[in-house]
Amino acid sequence: MTNFRAAVAQLNSGENVAENLVACGKAIVAAKEQGAQVIFLPENFAFMGPEAARAEIAENLDEAAGPIASFLSRSARQHSIAIVGGGMPERTADPKRPFNTSAVFDPAGNLIGRYRKVHLFDVDLSDGTKLCESASTTPGSETLVCPLGNVQFGISICYDVRFPELYRRLVHAGATALAVTAAFTLHTGRDHWEVLLRARAIESQCWVLAAAQWGRHSHDRLTYGRSMIIDPWGTVVAQASDGVGVVVADLDLVQLARIRASLPSLKHRRL
């Protein structure tokens, strides 16, 4: 098999976990109906509220018994689809600073990988947006490349996309596709979102799957959306417009191999 069908969800999550999970469930069903073998949910898919409040809903992923992790596991098993929950609060030794964790469940509902966001978003933007993720989140320290079907997915979250050295490490570890799950601000997204994603695809010669939050959220935060799937040449092959939805594309690994063979930049590094 040379193609692997993948979906990215675009959500408008708020502060009500139960309502957000219902919306995620609809996206999962839509992806499965279109033949997707995996769906990527955006960062903060279960809770998009004040950063400090994330600790109140943080879960122990090792037990996978909390409402968020159990939903992901149950949905994957019920619909026979792999699910990547692209950013949820995972408990740490510091009860006030959970990890921001992307959890990977296989189609049988098993947790097969987790990536804890390494780069935390501490900014004071000119549009008035002030965010200090490090005040309420513990940074991770490890990268993750996780196999799903015949694709090796390198996992990342939002602000990570600005740090190409992370993706170089993922490619070195064998990644053939890169996931970027995000809640990108409207202010930065308009100018940087697509440019950064296409750059990561081109320099890494990988498929890029970007699942994003969109719109105005319950705590008056604005996110950009435009979830998309990009091929290893840097071409956007599927993109969501404004609103909630799911976009699907076939990841062609023959095309990827052809691009890497004809323009072997990954072999030409001199560092």
Is the torsion defined by CA of 78, 84, 88, 89 positive or negative? positive
Within the chain, what is the greatest distance between any pair of CA atoms?
A: 51
User: How is residue 36 written in tokens?
Assistant: 């997707």
Catalytic (active site) residue 24: no
- Distance of alpha carbon 230 from alpha carbon 237, whole angstroms: 6
User: How is residue 90 written in tokens?
Assistant: 């995972």
| C-alpha separations of 105 from 109, 156, 178, 205 in Å | 6, 16, 17, 25
User: How is residue 270 written in tokens?
Assistant: 């001199």
Write down all domains in the chain, each with its CATH number in brackets.
3-267 (3.60.110.10)
Residues pairing with 125 in the sheet? none
Pick the catalytic residue: 117, 133, 146, 206?
Answer: 117
Residue 1 confidence (pLDDT): 53
- Distance of alpha carbon 244 from alpha carbon 225, whole angstroms: 9
| C-alpha separations of 126 from 123, 159, 187, 217 in Å | 10, 17, 9, 20
Catalytic (active site) residue 206: no
Q: What is the pLDDT of residues 117-161, one digit of tens each?
A: 999 988 777 776 677 888 889 999 999 999 999 999 999 999 999
Residue 156 phi, psi dihedral angles, 5° rounding: -150, 170
The DSSP letter of residue 139 is: -
Q: What is the pLDDT of residues 169-221, one digit of tens each?
A: 999 999 999 999 999 999 999 999 999 999 999 999 999 999 999 999 987 88
Q: Among 56-70, 77-91, 190-204, 250-264, which is the least confidently predicted range?
A: 56-70
Helix, strand, coil percent values for the chain (each to nearest 5): 30, 30, 35
Q: What is the pLDDT of residues 95-110, one digit of tens each?
A: 999 999 999 999 999 9
Pick the catalytic residue: 24, 32, 43, 59?
Answer: 43
Smallest CA-to-CA distance from 10 within 41, 35, 31, 39 is with 41
Strand bridging mode 207-212 / 228-230: antiparallel
Q: What is the pLDDT of residues 227-249, one digit of tens each?
A: 999 999 999 999 999 999 999 99
Q: Which whole number is the average pLDDT over 66-80?
A: 97
Pick the catalytic residue: 24, 133, 146, 158?
Answer: 158
The model's pTM is 0.95
Residue 65 confidence (pLDDT): 85
Residue 128 confidence (pLDDT): 66
Amino acid occupying residue 77 = R
Catalytic (active site) residue 63: no
Residue 63 confidence (pLDDT): 82
- Distance of alpha carbon 201 from alpha carbon 245, whole angstroms: 23
